[in-house]
């Protein structure tokens, strides 16, 4: 562990620390952020009488729209001259969500990212290939300073240019690699196409996140690279990467850095807490953030939390993989569909590659789901140009559509594509193309 005294702290002691820090945070926002002062007053709360964890659920929620409405710095709790860094999330519509960091915030962020690298199997002296994007996105710089804090030789390669990345991996011989799972998958493919074997590289562990992925994708990545693939979670509004990380020992849930981030899981419709182990929306309250603390921030991410002890010795609660996002949930003819449900079915077909998109259209008032998916190189070589109409391809489509129907209870169309035909993203993979929304906008 990078900070064993914290990461394996007795839960009783941890709770005491959280309680004290929560009170301090409420006090800080009350006195320095008008938005929170108004909301706390509305809820009948005052820092002088606030009881800490016992009264957590009385605190008001914060949502992404609150950050957007106060663009760019309206929710900052410190003077601008104390803010030494800005980041922003890559919103596709409207203005980005801007977050700031004081020196102390950066210090804590480096700590939690260093903890993450160690949990994934990293150690001082490693070479660490960081393929998260550098810039306003938190992934690149967040992991970068974590890596430097731990004391690994950090390669700030950022995203893109797979050929160059492959060369650097061969020549610099990293033990660790980090990036979005979809990018590292396509990097591996690019290597294979160039006649190189990702399994033969020096890489032993990968730290993958920033987008939803599945157990099946973990297997595919571990197989392709011969590595341990670990899930890292985070979001700009809370800090960036490093909010939670899997440990290589158990690979069973992501340890939340609970000394900095207080977690709750709520029912997305009622806002009421759900029990441990039950799926709901993750809500975080920052406990040490200075520049932009958040109170009960609703992430829109669906997961469950467990407080069972872990074999790695860390005592911090574990969250499950993200099962989906509230706003990524497609409702197709009344059926709720998450891209993460479809990924295992794709990976279960030996002929299909894990590059897929879900396209939803409205035809004659009825929603139609089409799963567009690539076939593997091997299969493509085998059936050649018969992808469109060949008998074998038809059988594959039928089998896949049948399994989708079994899973979703929904008839969907399947379109097969040649390897490389589905656009690769340099950052987060785009899985959903919802053409219904475009139609609504035009009408
Ligand atoms: O994606 C921070 C990050 C960078 C995390 C690098 C991990 C690695 P944002 O751009 O603000 O921050 O996006 C946050 O991405 O609310 C989730 O919906 C999604 N997300 C992040 N990590 C995971 C993950 C960064 N491991 C949003 N699994 C979050 C699934 C993830 N979704």
Answer yes or no: do 284 and 333 share one domain.
no
**What global pTM score does this model have?**
0.89
Query: Ligand 1: which residue has its CA nearest to atom 29?
Result: 235
Report the separation in Å between the CA atom of 242 and the middle of ligand 1, taken as the mean of its atom positions: 10
Answer yes or no: do 143 and 290 share one domain.
yes
360: CB partners within 8 A, 6+ apart: 330, 332, 367, 368, 369, 370, 432, 433, 434, 435, 436
Looking up residue 166, the CATH number of its domain turns out to be 3.40.50.12780
Q: To test ligand 1's pocket by mutation, which of 92, 113, 235, 427 has the most ligand atoms within 8 angstroms of CB?
A: 235
Q: Which two tokens stand for residue 432?
A: 């959903």
Q: What is the DSSP code (8-state) at residue 152?
A: -
Query: Ligand 1: which residue has its CA nearest to atom 18?
Result: 301
The SS3 call for residue 228 is strand
Q: Which two tokens stand for residue 248?
A: 């290589």
Looking up residue 357, the CATH number of its domain turns out to be 3.30.300.30
Answer yes or no: do 377 and 355 share one domain.
yes
Nearest 5°: phi and psi at 183?
-70, -40
Q: To test ligand 1's pocket by mutation, which of 184, 210, 263, 431 has the most ligand atoms within 8 angstroms of CB?
A: 210
Q: 82 near 291, Cβ under 8 Å?
A: yes
Q: Half-sphere exposure of 80 toward its Cβ, with a 13 Å CA cutoff?
A: 3
Q: How do strand 228-235 and strand 254-256 relate by DSSP bridges?
A: unpaired
Task: Report the nearest atom of ligand 1 relative to the CA of 299.
Answer: 16
Report the separation in Å between the CA atom of 43 and the middle of ligand 1, taken as the mean of its atom positions: 31
From 310, 325, 340, the end of a domain falls on: 325
Report the separation in Å between the CA atom of 230 and the middle of ligand 1, taken as the mean of its atom positions: 14
Answer yes or no: do 191 and 316 share one domain.
yes
Number of domains in the chain: 2
From 300, 325, 350, the end of a domain falls on: 325
End-to-end CA distance of the chain: 56
Q: 100 near 286, Cβ under 8 Å?
A: no
Enclosing H/E stretch for 344: helix 339-348
From 302, 325, 348, the end of a domain falls on: 325
pLDDT in tens, the chain (443 residues): 999 999 999 999 999 999 999 999 999 999 999 999 999 999 999 999 999 999 999 999 999 999 999 999 999 999 999 999 999 986 555 678 999 999 999 999 999 999 999 999 999 999 999 999 999 999 999 999 999 999 999 999 999 999 999 999 999 999 999 999 999 999 999 999 999 999 999 999 999 999 989 999 999 999 999 999 999 999 999 999 999 999 999 999 999 999 999 999 999 999 999 999 999 999 999 999 999 999 999 999 999 999 999 999 999 999 999 998 887 778 887 787 888 889 999 999 999 999 999 999 988 778 899 999 999 999 999 887 778 778 899 999 999 999 999 988 889 999 999 999 998 887 888 888 988 865 543 33
320: CB partners within 8 A, 6+ apart: 253, 254, 279, 303, 304, 305, 306
Q: Where are the beta strands (DSSP E) in 104-211?
A: 127-130, 153-155, 176-179, 205-209
Q: 281 near 265, Cβ under 8 Å?
A: yes
Answer yes or no: do 303 and 437 share one domain.
no
Report the separation in Å between the CA atom of 89 and the middle of ligand 1, taken as the mean of its atom positions: 10
User: How many other C-beta atoms can be found within 10 angstroms of the C-beta atom of residue 151?
Assistant: 13
367 vs 412: CA distance, rounded Å = 10
Answer yes or no: do 251 and 386 share one domain.
no
Answer yes or no: do 41 and 60 share one domain.
yes
Looking at the DSSP bridge assignments, the partners of residue 101 are 85
Answer yes or no: do 155 and 286 share one domain.
yes
Answer yes or no: do 215 and 310 share one domain.
yes
Pocket of ligand 1, beta carbon within 6 A: 89-90, 132, 137-139, 209-212, 231-236, 240-241, 299, 301, 322, 325
Answer yes or no: do 111 and 192 share one domain.
yes
Total H helices, total E strands in the chain: 13, 21
Q: Give residue 376's domain range.
A: 329-442
Answer yes or no: do 238 and 354 share one domain.
no
């Amino acid at each position: 562990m990078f900070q064993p005294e914290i990461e394996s702290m007795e839960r009783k002691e941890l709770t005491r620390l959280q309680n004290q820090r929560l009170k301090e945070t409420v006090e800080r926002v009350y006195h320095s952020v008008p938005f929170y002062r108004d909301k706390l007053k509305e809820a009948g709360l005052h820092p002088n009488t606030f009881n800490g964890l016992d009264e957590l659920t009385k605190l008001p929620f914060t949502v992404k729209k609150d950050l957007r409405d106060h663009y760019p710095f309206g929710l900052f709790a410190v003077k601008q001259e104390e803010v030494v860094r800005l980041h922003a999330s890559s919103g596709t519509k409207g203005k980005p969500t801007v977050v700031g960091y004081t020196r102390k915030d950066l210090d804590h962020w480096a700590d939690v990212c260093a903890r993450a690298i160690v949990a994934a199997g990293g150690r001082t002296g490693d070479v660490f290939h960081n393929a998260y994007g550098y810039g306003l996105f938190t992934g690149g710089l967040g992991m970068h300073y974590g890596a430097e804090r731990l004391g690994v030789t950090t390669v700030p390669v950022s995203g893109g240019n797979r050929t160059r990345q492959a060369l650097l991996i061969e020549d610099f011989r990293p033990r660790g690699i980090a990036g979005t799972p979809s990018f590292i998958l396509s990097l591996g493919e690019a290597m294979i196409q160039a006649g190189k074997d990702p399994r033969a590289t020096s890489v032993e562990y990968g730290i993958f996140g920033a987008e939803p992925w599945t157990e099946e994708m973990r297997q595919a990545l571990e197989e392709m690279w011969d590595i341990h693939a670990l899930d890292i979670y985070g979001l700009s509004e809370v800090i960036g990467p490093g909010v939670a990380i899997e440990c290589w020992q158990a690979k069973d849930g992501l340890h939340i850095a609970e000394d900095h981030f207080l977690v709750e899981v709520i029912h997305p419709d009622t806002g009421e807490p759900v029990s441990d182990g039950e799926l709901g929306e993750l809500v975080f309250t920052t406990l040490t953030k200075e520049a932009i603390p958040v109170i009960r921030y609703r992430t829109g991410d669906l997961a469950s939390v467990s407080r069972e002890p872990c074999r790695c010795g860390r005592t911090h609660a574990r969250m499950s993989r993200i099962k989906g996002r509230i706003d990524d949930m497609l409702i197709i003819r009344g059926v709720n569909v998450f891209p993460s449900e479809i990924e295992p079915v794709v990976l279960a077909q030996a002929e299909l590659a894990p590059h897929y998109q879900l396209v939803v259209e409205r035809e004659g008032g009825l929603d139609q789901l089409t799963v567009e998916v690539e076939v593997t190189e091997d299969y493509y070589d085998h059936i050649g140009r018969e992808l469109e109409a060949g008998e074998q391809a038809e059988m594959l489509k039928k089998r896949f559509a049948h399994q989708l129907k079994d899973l979703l209870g929904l008839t969907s169309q399947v379109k097969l594509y040649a390897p490389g035909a589905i656009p690769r993203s340099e950052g987060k993979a785009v899985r959903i193309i919802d053409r219904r929304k475009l139609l609504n906008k035009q009408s």
